[in-house]
Each structure stands twice: as C-alpha cells, then as structure tokens.
C-alpha cells in the first residue's frame, strides 16, 4: 500500500477550510473572468463596414452582402452565433477595435431555431460617380480621411467627399459619357480614376 505524500495531505486539509474554486452556477449568477471570450456583437456606430472581420473568421460565422437598389446601396453584415467558435480573431483584426467585440456571455444554450441566432447590421455604401460600381462604405471613407489627416488632400475623390460631408459644396462638373480628366474631381473607383488620369 502506498501512503499519500505530505504535500497531498496538506492540500487536502487546506481545502477543508478554504472557499471552493467552482461557483454555484446556475443556482447563483456566475461572473466570468475579465477577459473571457463569449458571444461577439457588432457595434453599428463603431463598425466601418470594411469586412476585415469576415476575411479572418476561421469558422465562417461572419458574412456580408452588398445590395444596390434604385441607386441606393447598402452592405449587410451578419454574425451567425450558432457557428461562432468565440476565437476572438474578428475583434483582434478590426481596424477600429470597436466594430465587433466579444461579450462575456457564456450561458448561450438555447432551443431557438438557427435563423434567430444571428445579429445583422447595415452600412451605407458609396458608389463610383462614373461607373456606379461599389467603392466602400461611407463610414470607411470617413475613417480613412480622419486617419490620413491633411494627407487626404492628395486625393481629389477624398477632397470632394469630405466637402460633401461637411456641406461646403461640391466640385461643379459636366458629366459626359467619356471619362475625362475633369472627372478626376468626382468620387471614383480605382479603375475609373486610372482611366481619367492616364487614358483620357
Ligand atoms: S469570434 Fe471567431 S468564430 Fe466567432 S465571429 Fe469572431 S472570428 Fe468568427
Ligand atoms: S470595422 Fe471591424 S467589425 Fe466592422 S466590418 Fe470592419 S473589421 Fe468588421
């Protein structure tokens, strides 16, 4: 017969008089550890709609869809909580660091149907003023302008965009079917910008 070591006896005696490590959940509410990774949520005001989180999600729990209807364009971003593995990659790679954040929600077992286990947000998209293709989300362009600071003045599209946002006027131009040099002052996608600068 092997006798317990002194260290084990000491541990057993100590545990008789100390609080248990486990909590009494679900009888009593449980407070998770401060950096516990729980269910993620999008934050509409902080998200710029760049889709970096969608790119890095290993479980493909995040997705987006662009819709253009009657000249109005929007990007729809969706989290499917049923496939999320709560790895935190989306939060880690979000350029604003606040667009998507993991909560400390852990008690998420449910009998609800999968269709309801999601969060959807919408972001306004900006189209190229010449060819009408999608360029980026409005909030993403504003974020870029702020990030660049005075350097944004080197891009005519951004200057025009910032003036529109500030309501201090827009460049006056005459639209033609051709992409002309004067169209450089429109808000253009990269392809149309190249055309207006190098080809026309
Ligand atoms: S926590 Fe991980 S799995 Fe869940 S949405 Fe974010 S990146 Fe995807
Ligand atoms: S801002 Fe953050 S949360 Fe929003 S789409 Fe980009 S990476 Fe995702």
**Helix (DSSP H) and strand (DSSP E) numbers for the chain:** 6, 6
Residue ranges lining ligand 1, Cβ < 6 Å: 40, 57, 59, 61-62, 79, 84-90
Q: Is the pLDDT of residue 150 over 60?
A: yes
For residue 179, the tally of other CB atoms under 10 A from its CB is: 21
Q: In this prediction, what percent of the chain has a pLDDT beyond 90?
A: 52
pLDDT tens digits for 82-121?
Answer: 999 999 999 999 999 999 999 999 988 899 998 999 999 9
Measured from the Cα of 97, ligand 2's closest atom is 2
Tell whether the model's pLDDT for residue 170 goes beyond 90.
no
Query: 10 Å Cβ neighbour count for 42?
Result: 21
- Give pLDDT, residue 194: 85
Distance 89 CA to ligand 1 centre (A): 6
Contacts of range 4-9, beta carbons closer than 8 Å, 24 or more positions apart: none
What are the structural domains of the chain? 23-127 (3.30.70.3270), 128-200 (no CATH)
Instruction: Give the ligand at the shortest distance from the Cα of 119.
Output: 1
Per-residue model confidence (pLDDT) at position 134: 93
Mean pLDDT of all residues in the chain? 88
User: Does ligand 2 come within 6 angstroms of the Cβ of 94?
Assistant: yes
What per-residue confidence (pLDDT) applies to 175?
A: 56
**Given strand 118-127, what is the order of strands in its sheet?**
62-69, 72-80, 118-127, 134-137
For ligand 2, whether the C-beta of 79 sits within 6 Å is no
Burial class (CB in 10 A: 0-12, 13-18, 19+), 85: exposed
pLDDT given at position 185 = 75
53 lines ligand 2 (CB under 6 A): yes
Rounded CA gap, 188 and 182, in Å?
Answer: 12
Chain segment 177-200, per-residue pLDDT in tens: 665 666 677 888 888 888 888 775
Q: Check residue 73 and give its pLDDT.
A: 95
């Amino acid at each position: 017969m092997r006798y317990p070591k002194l260290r084990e006896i000491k541990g057993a005696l100590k545990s008789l008089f100390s609080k248990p490590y486990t909590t009494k959940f679900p009888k009593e509410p449980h407070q998770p550890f401060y950096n516990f990774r729980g269910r993620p949520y999008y934050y509409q005001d902080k998200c710029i709609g760049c889709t970096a989180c969608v790119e890095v999600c290993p479980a493909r729990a995040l997705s987006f869809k662009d819709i253009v209807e009657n000249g109005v364009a929007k990007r729809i971003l969706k989290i499917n909580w049923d496939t999320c593995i709560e790895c935190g990659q989306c939060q880690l790679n979000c350029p604003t660091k606040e667009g998507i954040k993991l909560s400390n929600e852990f008690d998420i077992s449910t009998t609800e149907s999968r269709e309801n286990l999601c969060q959807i947000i919408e972001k306004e998209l900006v189209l190229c003023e010449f060819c009408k293709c999608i360029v980026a989300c409005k909030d993403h362009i504003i974020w870029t302008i702020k990030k660049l600071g005075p350097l944004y003045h080197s891009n005519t599209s951004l200057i025009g965009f910032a003036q529109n946002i500030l309501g201090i006027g827009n460049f006056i131009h005459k639209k033609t079917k051709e992409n002309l040099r004067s169209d450089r002052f429109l808000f253009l996608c990269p392809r149309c910008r190249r055309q207006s600068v190098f080809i026309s």
